[in-house]
Chains A and B, each alone.
Chain A
Amino acid sequence: MADHDPTIHICDDWISIKLPDWESVIAAQSALSASKYWTEIVPGIDSIAVQFDPALVSPDHAAKMASDQMANLTRGGGNSRSTVTIPVCYEPEFSPDRHYIADRLGISAEILPSWHISQMHRVAMLGFMPGFAYLESLEQCPTIGRLASPRQLVATGSIGVIGRQSCIYSFDSPGGWPIIGRTPLRMFDPSKNQPALLSAGQNIRFESISKDAFDHWQQEAEG
């Protein structure tokens, strides 16, 4: 095998590229997207992977292409720095773990929504299931552990919080994140050109809505 960049690891039909930080991941995603050889481009937190067809491309050649394509990353460039506002209903029926979360933050459950809304988040990556977004708060905050035993069913749209990280459940699923609220937005719609509502690199703001507004929003989405 030819010598190659030590940050690149080659498997037989995908390669993983270690990057210094999350900003570089977003820049790399944009740089790699220009090539038609990658069948998948999957960002992680501090790495990115590309998959290729080994009938057409040899692993060494793939590594060289990736290396070339990422030669001049412009960090923080990207055009995906839009801010998306996510409406959230924090009413108790949608916020089963509000006391659990508030206790760990040392605040009252009543002001929990304002605490969540006050923070700017960004989409770190998507994973776990279609459209499921991992968000990271730009501010420091105490760690909130996962639930001792995961729920069998977390409803679609539920928003989980473990400290600086939040997530949005895109489908009903089992899950262990403490739940702070629920959004009526549809996170994944395969009939759309861009099926996932969010993408890595976007900024996210949460906005508190009433139960009535939630119901109205959901009816509109279904109608």
Chain B
Amino acid sequence: MSITVLKAGLQTTLQGTPYSGHRHLGMPAAGAADCLSLALANFLVGKSSGEITIEITLTDAIFEMNESCSIGVVGSAEYVRINGKDQPQHQTLRVGMGDKLHIGPSRPGCRTYLAISAEIDANRLLGGQSTCLAAGLGGFHGRALKTEDVIRFSQNSPVIEVERTTPENLRPHYSDNHVLRVTRGPEASKPNEGALDGLCLRSYAVGARASRMGMALEGAPLKATESSNMPSAAVFPGTIQLPPSGQPYLLGPDAQTTGGYPRIAQVIRADRHLIGQLGPGSRIQFVQTTPERATEIHREKLSLLTSWLGQINLW
């Protein structure tokens, strides 16, 4: 009733629904960085969209199954192999005891989700199970997986047997070039007038130290106010801050809950799942939209996905 990690890779964590309702206590969202790939993977094994999965980042990872079950793999992995034989993503796969599952490196993109039909035994807190790395809470003992770790399944957990294939038109296109739509942030006006226009004028490259917390955006620096004495204020995943250096900083799912840099833009909810596929060197073109249009886009996306996934939440 378990799965053994034979090769953990760069950063492999247990992730599902983010934490909600505790940001005022400093609790970050955590959760799957790409909630769309997560939902598609979970559906392949008959689970609801936010169930806990194994999130694999950039490099390849290898697992050994100690149990027969179904799995679903969705994400940026170049290949999926069971005992050396290529297998498709977006399709329910059967694995048996002793099978070796190899999830290839991300090419292109950044993250892949491995959903398992059995119930993964993860630490539970505040209504969630996702790994919160900064505080060492949730998931697998609050940390990234290491080689030889054994992820246990809950005893007597129901194994839902389904055979599913994601429809072609719902399969995300993984790329190293992204268009992210943003709305104006609270500090986009004076004295940062022009910063948002500048942000949308040219493309940016994701810096080498990109993480689940956030990423520096490299490109021509924006005009920033020199001494930033802004009183700390709430930030969210997808908030774009403007530090005095003029290099914008995009916050990810593990970002802290408050910050002291001007918030010049906010990636719209409907596009936030793409943040999970941004890795070092990914290029981003930002496009400004309005909150009203962003809401329409969000509802259109939900309605498209609901036709296949049923009830779904994007974050």
Contacts and interface: CB of A to CB of B under 8 A. Distances in A.
Interface in B257-273: 257-258, 263, 266, 268-269
A9 B186 contact: yes
Given A1-B292, A12-B268, A127-B256, A54 B22 contact: no
B84 interface: no
B21 A134 contact: no
A114 interface: no
A44 B233 contact: yes
Interface string B47-88: 000000000000000000000000000000000000000000
A46 B234 CA distance: 10
Interface stretch (B37-45, B131-139, B167-175): B131-139
Looking at chain B, what size class is its interface with the partner chain? 35 or more
Interface stretch (B4-12, B95-103, B195-203, B294-302): B294-302
Contacts of A53: 313
Chain B CB within 10 Å, residue with most, of A13, A18, A173? A13
A151 B21 CA distance: 31
Given A40-B24, A42-B23, 8 more contacts: A10-B291, A11-B266, A13-B268, A55-B299, A58-B295, A127-B232, A188-B25, A195-B22
Interface string A1-17: 10000000111111010
A123 B290 CA distance: 36
Contacts of B292: 1, 58-60
Contacts, number: 147
A40 to B, nearest CB: 5
Nearest to B20: A39
Interface string A87-107: 000000000000000000000
A54 B27 contact: no
A48 B234 contact: yes
Contact of B125 (A1, A60, A191): A191
Given A9-B186, A130-B137, A195 B25 contact: yes
Contact of B258 (A128, A130, A188, A190): A128
A45 B258 CA distance: 10
Contact of B294 (A12, A47, A196): A12
B294 A42 contact: no
A41 B24 contact: yes
Nearest to B294: A12
Nearest to A45: B231
Given A11-B266, A126-B26, A130-B137, A16 B186 contact: yes
Contact of A171 (B24, B135, B184, B302): B135
Interface in A27-77: 29, 39-49, 51, 53-55, 58-60
Contact of A47 (B20, B233, B236, B295): B233
B277 interface: no
18 contacts: A12-B291, A12-B295, A14-B266, A39-B20, A40-B20, A42-B234, A43-B24, A44-B232, A45-B232, A49-B233, A51-B236, A53-B313, A58-B292, A58-B295, A127-B256, A170-B26, A195-B27, A195-B125
Contacts of B294: 12-13, 54, 59
